[in-house]
C-alpha cells in the first residue's frame, strides 16, 4: 500500500480565518466562544456560540456565485482555496480524473432551509428563491469544490453527525493509499447558527450557557459552532517528486458503530475505533504521545472518552497529552473532525500542543493529562484524533510526524 501525506491545509473557524491565525490562537490560548451575533437571542436560552466573526462573503465570491452558496459551502470553498494554494498542486487533464473530493457536512444548508421556511410560514410568501435546492443539498460543498478546481475523480459527501469530517478524511486517505485515487481533497463544513437549530439543541439539554470546559468536574455541556477545514492528501512519492511541503503522514483510520443507544456513547465502540486506527497504521499504543479528544464538555462524553483511553492505552494513558480544542472553536458538528485535525497536525509538525481551555477542578472520572489552560512545546512523533458521534458512529485518525 502507498504512503499518504498531507500537503495542503485550510481552515476557517471561530479562532481564525486561516491556518496561521488558528495556530496562533491555540498558542495564545485565545477562545472564539462568545455572545451570538448572527441572530437575535431574545427567544434563546443559550446565547453563546463559536461563530466565524468578520467573514464577508462578498470579499470571496461574486454576487452570481453567492446566489448558489449556503454559508457552509462558502466556508468550505474558502478553506479549500487555502488548502489547494498551500499544496501548490497543479490539476492538469491527466491528474483531474484521479482526484477524489469528499467534503462532509452534518447539517448542510440549514440556513437556506430555515430562511425558506420563514418566508413561507412567517411572511406568507408563496415561493422560495430558485436556487434553494442546490444551496441546501448535502453535497453542495463537494460539488462546488470539484467545479472550482476541476476535480473529476470520485466525489461525494458524508454525513455522520459529529464524526462526519473524520469519516470523510479517512475515506479519502484509504482511496489514495489503495490506488483508487492519486489525490484526495477532503474535509468538513457546517454553519448552523440558526434559531431553529439552537432551539433543537436546547431541548436536548447538553449545551452550555457560559462556556465549554471539557473534562472538568463543573463542565456543563458543549458550545455550538460553525467552521470548515479542508486537506489535500497525496502519495508520498508524488509529494516528494514535486518537492511539496509535507505537513504530516496519514498512518491509520478506524471506524465503528456502537449499535447501542442513539445518544449515550459507548466505551466499547470508541475503544474499537481507536484500536482499529492504530492497527491500520502499524502503531502500538506506546507510540502515541498526543490525542486530540472529541472532548465535547458533556458529562457522558468526557467520562466515556477517558475510559476509552484507559482501556486502549493501559498505563501509557497517563503519559498521553490530551487536548480538547472544542474549548477554543466550539463544536462545529460535521466540521469538527476536520478542524481538530488541523490542531493534531500542528502538534506533529510544529510541536504545538494545544491546551484545554477553561480548565478548573478536575473530575475524578477524568484523571488524565488534558494540558490545562496553557499550550506546550513538545516534539510528538505520533498522535490520534477522535470523533464519536450521536448515533454511535465512531471515527479515529492516526498520524505520524513526517521526517524527510
The Cα 12–Cα 315 span in angstroms is 37
Per 3-state DSSP, the chain is made up of helix, strand and coil in percentages (nearest 5) of: 40, 20, 40
Cell, residue 373: 489552560
Q: What is the torsion angle, in degrees rounded to the nearest 10, for the CA atoms of residue 298, residue 136, residue 342 and residue 27?
A: -70
Instruction: For residue 381, count other CB atoms closer than 10 A to its CB.
Output: 14
Per the residue annotation, which of 294, 308, 329, 366 is the catalytic one? 294
User: How far is the C-alpha of 133 from the C-alpha of 112, rounded, in Å?
Assistant: 9
Let me know how long the chain is: 404
162, 212, 308, 366: the catalytic one is 162
- 331 as an active site residue: the answer is yes
- Of 112, 177, 107, 104, give the one whose Cα is nearest residue 145: 104
Any catalytic annotation for residue 162?
yes
Q: How far is CA 213 from the centre of its chain?
A: 18
Catalytic residue among 167, 247, 329, 331: 331
Q: Residue 81: CB partners within 8 Å, gap ≥ 6?
A: 10, 148
Strand partners, 103: 187
Q: So which residues are the catalytic ones?
A: 162, 294, 331
Amino acid at each position: 500500500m502507498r504512503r499518504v501525506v498531507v500537503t495542503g491545509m485550510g481552515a476557517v473557524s471561530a479562532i481564525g480565518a486561516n491556518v496561521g491565525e488558528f495556530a496562533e490562537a491555540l498558542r495564545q490560548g485565545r477562545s472564539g466562544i462568545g455572545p451570538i451575533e448572527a441572530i437575535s437571542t431574545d427567544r434563546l436560552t443559550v446565547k453563546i456560540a463559536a461563530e466565524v466573526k468578520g467573514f464577508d462573503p462578498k470579499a470571496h465570491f461574486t454576487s452570481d456565485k453567492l446566489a448558489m452558496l449556503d454559508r457552509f459551502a462558502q466556508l468550505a470553498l474558502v478553506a479549500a482555496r487555502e488548502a489547494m494554494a498551500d499544496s501548490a498542486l497543479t490539476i492538469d487533464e491527466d491528474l483531474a480524473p484521479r482526484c477524489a473530493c469528499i467534503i462532509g457536512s452534518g447539517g448542510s444548508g440549514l440556513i437556506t432551509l430555515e430562511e425558506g421556511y420563514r418566508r413561507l410560514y412567517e411572511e406568507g410568501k408563496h415561493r422560495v428563491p430558485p436556487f434553494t435546492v442546490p444551496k441546501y443539498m448535502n453535497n453542495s460543498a463537494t460539488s462546488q469544490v470539484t467545479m472550482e478546481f476541476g476535480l473529476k475523480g470520485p466525489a461525494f459527501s458524508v454525513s455522520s453527525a459529529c464524526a462526519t469530517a473524520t469519516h470523510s478524511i479517512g475515506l479519502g486517505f484509504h482511496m489514495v493509499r489503495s490506488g483508487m485515487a492519486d489525490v484526495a481533497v477532503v474535509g468538513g463544513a457546517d454553519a448552523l447558527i440558526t434559531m431553529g437549530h439552537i432551539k433543537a439543541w436546547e431541548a436536548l439539554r447538553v449545551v452550555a450557557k457560559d462556556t465549554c470546559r471539557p473534562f472538568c468536574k463543573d463542565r456543563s455541556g458543549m458550545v455550538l459552532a460553525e467552521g470548515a477545514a479542508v486537506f489535500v492528501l497525496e502519495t508520498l512519492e508524488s509529494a516528494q517528486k514535486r518537492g511539496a511541503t509535507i505537513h504530516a503522514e496519514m498512518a491509520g483510520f478506524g471506524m465503528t458503530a456502537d449499535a447501542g443507544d442513539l445518544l449515550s456513547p459507548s466505551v466499547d465502540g470508541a475503544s474499537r475505533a481507536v484500536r482499529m486506527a492504530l492497527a491500520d497504521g502499524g502503531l502500538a499504543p506506546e507510540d502515541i504521545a498526543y490525542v486530540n479528544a472529541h472532548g465535547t464538555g458533556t458529562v457522558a462524553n468526557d467520562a466515556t472518552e477517558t475510559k476509552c483511553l484507559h482501556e486502549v492505552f493501559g498505563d501509557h494513558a497517563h503519559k498521553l497529552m490530551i487536548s480538547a480544542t472544542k474549548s477554543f472553536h466550539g463544536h462545529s458538528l460535521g466540521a469538527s473532525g476536520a478542524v481538530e485535525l488541523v490542531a493534531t497536525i500542528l502538534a506533529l509538525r510544529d510541536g504545538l500542543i494545544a491546551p484545554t481551555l477553561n480548565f478548573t477542578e478536575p473530575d475524578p472520572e477524568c484523571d488524565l493529562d488534558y494540558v490545562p489552560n496553557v499550550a506546550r512545546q513538545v516534539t510528538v512523533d505520533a498522535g490520534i484524533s477522535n470523533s464519536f458521534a450521536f448515533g454511535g458512529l465512531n471515527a479515529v485518525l492516526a498520524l505520524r510526524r513526517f521526517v524527510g
